[in-house]
Structure 1
Amino acid sequence: MDKTDKIVVGISIGDLNGIGIEVILKAFQDKRMLEFCTPVLFGATKVVSYHKKALNLEVPVHGITNIDQINPNKINVLNIWKEEVKIDLGKATKESGTYAAKSLEAATNHLKENKVDVLITAPINKENIQSESFNYPGHTEYLEANLEGKSLMILLTDELRIGLITGHIPIAKVAETITSELIKDKVDTMHESLKRDFGIVKPKIAVLSLNPHCGDNGVIGKEDDEIIKPTVQEIAASGKMVFGPYAADGFFGSKTYKQFDGVLATYHDQGLAPFKALSFGKGVNFTAGLNHVRTSPDHGTGYDIAGKNLANSSSFTEALFTALQVFNCRNEYKEITKNPLPIS
């Protein structure tokens, strides 16, 4: 089989006791999904079968032991372990974290070797996945360490793309982490991603303030006046359409975000809280800046509804189509920029 017939989508199955496998199976209940891609789940058919039975889902899967055995018209499950794994739906266990890491590692390795074209990651528990071999705050940091490029977490829907200048770090460390160099790096990554991954020729980017009311001229903090504002002005002077800083409350309350192709929040919850309020269940987590495409749904492990057949697969489906779109857009961008006209 020639894997280039369709985009091969590698899927890490996430925490075995969460809703990851459920949303994956539900997404592919619609057989038309297989017209767009060839899915490969990294895990074990026994684990997937357990979830199918617990959820009473009739979704046939094709077990394989080597990536060369994939069937382009089926949901492939690449067996990367043979041993029995205890599944305790709805509970965070060390075992479920260990096997989530095994799935992610195998999927990432296949991505690096171009044996799959894109990666979609089901949710993990950031505590029980920790080990000597996995010592990262989350997917984004792990993928940056194992792939090429500088990562930028972007949460997106059709009308909103929010990137994070700082990611999974304690709030107490945010202010000291915000530097002019970091802002420039994140703006560069978002700017390039908007062009390469989304086909936006002249991206328009907004940068949010760190402090309430942009610091009120130093009354509530000096970082906005001393670091963010001059950095934004410097970037804008170089030719990029970058504006800010904007106070986050008014920015979202007045729907100003609709005027921009991308938004950079200074810390995690400043970006994710309004994003999820506006689009929870429809959003996608995209890791920009790396040499391979990775997306994920915008929700967590969902232990509270695991095994109850209540999980909504909409966000996973959006993550899948986003990965396919970005992959195609990157190929088109590569084609149109490979022979640039010389500057006279």
Structure 2
Amino acid sequence: MRIAVIGAGALGCTFAALLDRAGHEVVLVARGAQLDAITASGLRLTGGFGDWRTRQLVAVPALDTPAELAILAVKAQDAAAALAEHGRTLDGIPVLVVQNGLDGVSAARAALPTSSCFGALSIIAASYLEPGSVTVTTPAPTYIGRGAGEPDAEVRRFTAELAPAFPAEAIGNFVGAQWTKLIVNQLNALPAITGRSVQEVIADRGLRMVMTRSMREAVRVGVARGIRFGSLQGLSDRNLRLFARVPALLGQMLPLRFAARMGSVPNPGSTLQSLKRGQRTEIDFLNGAVVREARLAGRDAPVNAALTELVHEVERTGMFLSPTEVLERLAR
């Protein structure tokens, strides 16, 4: 299958390399040093899915030829620009949106009314910290679907096409699963604020409690918005609602469980990776999304609002905060 991957960050490169290894004809849209490195030497994949250097993959600065499937793997804040730039080439082509946050599929559908758009939630943890190379720190499944119902025939067909390249599963209640992934993505803010890995943040008792509070707040906002959380990474509607009700000290078991699954290889989280590359983060579509949804429900989300602002502060200043500073700022 001829597959176009738009976005050459950690996940986009991971998918592109795995699809190339599986024998698909892959075109990867990349820019700058990333484009130069891949054009010169191919794309190197290491880590949890094994080692591979691409053979047939072609890297281009812009997509100018149609494909049988397009995978949109840019950060949420870059999606509108990418859709506008490539809209003519994507016209009528099925588009799989691999994106954090809640609005990726609906935004693609609005920009591409003649295309069939559906979504993917990837639990893969990957790091891209140098051009032409990506390392998978946590191999995990990718969940594909759309809407609140069961997966339709097209979703199942493309999932079956992609599954030989990487673990993929068609799921129902994709909207609810997006909310569950939003809870998982609460792992990102504190590493970005402190410059520490996810594991280091969770190992710190004070920071772990902040993360627990932000997750519980996000679950409560989802409940207030009438969401039935989708089953994802061992989480479900039932256990997330229970997590939001039990004492916070007990709730710390959830981030501890995430850290155990990650293993010992330091996971910087996608938001910290963006900061280290000098790029804007997608925090407004993660913790910021919780704040917006809370307002729609007539509620406040003070922990998520504070974390969003602290990430923006680090973006502006380039200075990370110590755990003590974070706790002092949140106590104000």
- Identify the structure with bigger relative contact order (alpha carbons < 8 Å, sequence gap 6+): 1
Q: Which has the higher helix share?
A: 2
Structure 1 or 2, whichever has the larger Rg, is 1
> What's the TM-score once normalised by structure 2's chain length?
0.31
> What's the TM-score once normalised by structure 1's chain length?
0.30
